[in-house]
Amino acid sequence: MWQELFAQEINQWYNFFMEKVSLTTQNRLIIFGLILSTLLIMAIAVFSVLNIQKKLNEGYQNFGQIISKTLAIESNVIIKDLPENEIFNTLKEHTDTILKSNSDIVFIEFADKSGKIIYSNRITQKRPNIIVSSPDNGRIGAVTIGLSGNIINQISSTTRASLLFVFAIAWIVFAFVILINTYLITRELRILHDGVQKISSGNFGYKISGENVSNEVQELFNSFNDMSARLRLYEEQNIEQLTLERNKLEAVLMSIANGVVVCDNNDLVVLVNNHAQSLLEVTEEQMLNTKIQNYIDTEGNYCFKNKIEEFKSGDNKFVTFNITVDKRVIKSVISPMYTRSGEYVGYIIVLIDVTKETEMDLMRSQFISNVSHELRTPVTVLRSYIDTLYNLGNEFDYETQKEFIGTINNEIIRLNNMVNDILDFSRLDSDVELEKTFNDIALMTENCVKQIEVLAQEKEVTIEISKDKNIPEVLFNYDSIERALRNLLSNAIKYSPEGKKIRVRVFKSSENEVTVTVQDEGCGIAPEYQKKIFDRFFRVENNTHTIKGTGLGLHLVKTTIEKHHGGKVFVDSKPNEGSTFGFTLPVKAYELIK
């Protein structure tokens, strides 16, 4: 019974231990083996004790048989010749003697052949555990004795204790051997685990010692040390090359003309090149290891956040959009980044400054709008006047017809000038080389004034010319310089009020330069516009400047003088006081700078 209770306690303890303690599979197997071996040893001990107890009981029973048989024989011998009346006393005396000499015999009972009790001393406080009866053929038919079993109990207790002690010592030794073996194995595994951790952390060349280990483990340690040495050698041979390749890649990304921002798959910035820092107006320290979605543009918007979400929701496809940083338009392209094995590791944002292109698109739109409007006006006038002359010409007198024809002629000239401006813009903006000859720039200036004199007279504006003496001839393309000067003169006439004066001056501004200026008394130009006045398609449109045009005239002047003749254009103007436009040309032979 106690064995079952003990087994139940062991089972409950095992279940509790497994529930409360987090163990590895190896530890569980060890504990299970210990419990199994404990139960096996206990079962063997219990079986041995029970078997020995059984044998002792059988031996004790035989011992009782021998005693009872001996008493029967001995008693028959004693009372053989005695009369009937002395038998009782004789048996009593003999029985008392035996009981006094052997404490293990509780009672002795004699019976005749018919089973009648001759003598019995069962009247005793002791209760027998074993009762043995042995029949005989003498005067006493049978002798029954009762044994207390004290001797057998003592022998059984001693035997059980000895066996349990032996099995307990055996279990302790067995468990100790298992634990020691487990400790040695786990110690070797810990040594190997520490070595693997060292290797995984990059400590190539780390070696583990194999003292006091088994031959199999020693071979494993030797293989590990050989692998570590090879990794160390490989690292030494390749680290320099890998570092060089990485530095080359970073150098390429850092020096690329466009901005590049590299983000990992957690949206953290891992690299930002110099141009990207300049475009986004941030430093490398401000960007690295931060989420690119948290970047705020100059308008206070999270300009990347929504687009990155769109990029991720679209199966990592390319996303293109524009952001604005300090009035600069930056084209941004998000593209995924994969390894050679096709594993997604992040994305790259390429930043391209398209401010000029955007401005050019806007200027181009404005130019097309202006040209369309400017072309529509003369075409409408020409169609109207020609249609009137065609249908009603006979009804007009000579002066009226002459007036109509004069208007038609002016509109044709205006239309021709606009077409020439567009053609010159296309030609001069290219790298075409103009043919140059030495010419008298003062004489050319006089000719331009004469050609433009008609327009000045129509607006009642007078033109004065002043020129220095001994101005040398200059190497230039006559047609292009004449067109540039005529453009400056026509602008001066357009913006000069009636009755005002235009002053044209030709002088030698230095030893190697000749300067031509055109000064008017018009409305002037505000300082903020003077830097842009020579840009293509740029026009000052306000309440004062209402005269329409293509916006190409001054740009063509700048291109002609500076790009094709190596000179310089300039403007000096004050609002409501007039403007002075001019250009300088080198006196010496000019070599075209491409």
The pLDDT tens digits for 287-307 are 888 888 888 887 788 888 888
CATH number of the domain bearing residue 335 = 3.30.450.20
| Averaged pLDDT, 398-410 | 80
Q: What's the structural domain count of the chain?
A: 4
Task: Say how far residue 355 (Cα) sits from the centre of its chain.
Answer: 31
Whole-number CA gyration radius for the chain = 63
Q: Are 458 and 560 part of one and the same domain?
A: yes
Q: Are 452 and 568 part of one and the same domain?
A: yes
* End-of-domain residue from the set 153, 173, 196: 153
pLDDT of the residue at 213: 66
| Averaged pLDDT, 99-119 | 76
Q: Are 268 and 283 part of one and the same domain?
A: yes
Which one is predicted more confidently, 84 or 270? 270
pLDDT of the residue at 581: 92
pLDDT tens digits along 113-163 = 777 777 777 655 566 666 767 676 666 777 787 777 777 777 777 877 777
Any idea which of 454-458, 508-512, 536-540 has the lowest mean pLDDT?
536-540
pLDDT tops 80 at residue 504 = yes
pLDDT of the residue at 27: 63
Q: Which distant-in-sequence residues (6+ apart) come within 8 Å of 180 by Cβ?
A: none
Q: Are 286 and 318 part of one and the same domain?
A: yes
Closest CA to 523 of 501, 541, 542, 544: 544
pLDDT tops 60 at residue 17 = no
pLDDT tens digits along 220-273 = 777 777 777 777 777 666 666 666 666 677 777 777 778 889 898 888 988 888
pLDDT tops 70 at residue 14 = no
| Averaged pLDDT, 90-118 | 77
| Averaged pLDDT, 315-325 | 81
pLDDT of the residue at 19: 47
Q: Are 391 and 536 part of one and the same domain?
A: no
Rounded to 5 degrees, what are φ and ψ at 541? -115, 110
pLDDT tens digits along 460-488 = 889 999 988 888 889 998 888 888 898 88
User: What pLDDT band is residue 519 in, cutting at 50, 70 and 90?
Assistant: very high
Residue 231 within any structural domain of the chain: no
The domain of 17 spans 2-153
CATH number of the domain bearing residue 87 = 3.30.450
Q: Are 327 and 370 part of one and the same domain?
A: no
* DSSP string computed for 74-142: HHHHHTTT--HHHHHHHHHHHHHHHHHH-TTEEEEEEE-TTS-EEEE----S---SEEEEEE-SSSS-E
Q: Which of 127-136, 375-384, 392-401, 424-433 has the highest mean pLDDT?
A: 392-401
Write down the pTM of the prediction.
0.40
Cα dihedral sign for 426, 432, 437, 438? Answer: positive
DSSP state at residue 539: -
pLDDT tops 80 at residue 583 = yes
| Averaged pLDDT, 207-212 | 70
Residue 387 within any structural domain of the chain: yes
Residue 377 within any structural domain of the chain: yes
CATH number of the domain bearing residue 516 = 3.30.565.10
pLDDT tops 90 at residue 514 = yes
Any idea which of 67-81, 102-116, 208-222 has the lowest mean pLDDT?
208-222
User: What pLDDT band is residue 69 in, cutting at 50, 70 and 90?
Assistant: confident
* End-of-domain residue from the set 353, 381, 398: 353
Q: Are 14 and 131 part of one and the same domain?
A: yes
User: What pLDDT band is residue 31 in, cutting at 50, 70 and 90?
Assistant: confident
Give 219-227 contacts, CB < 8 A, sequence gap 24+: 220/192, 221/191, 221/192, 224/192, 224/195, 227/199
pLDDT tops 80 at residue 372 = no
Q: Are 363 and 386 part of one and the same domain?
A: yes
| Averaged pLDDT, 12-19 | 47
Which one is predicted more confidently, 316 or 402? 402
pLDDT tops 80 at residue 437 = yes
Residue 465 within any structural domain of the chain: yes
First-residue to last-residue Cα distance in the chain: 113
Q: Are 129 and 276 part of one and the same domain?
A: no
* End-of-domain residue from the set 134, 153, 172: 153
CA 476/CA 168 separation, integer angstroms: 121
Closest CA to 371 of 422, 408, 435, 440: 422
Q: Are 312 and 289 part of one and the same domain?
A: yes
pLDDT of the residue at 98: 77
pLDDT of the residue at 369: 65
Half-sphere exposure of 139 (CA within 13 A, CB side): 16
Place of tokens 């194999």: 210
**pLDDT above 90 covers what percent of the chain?**
6
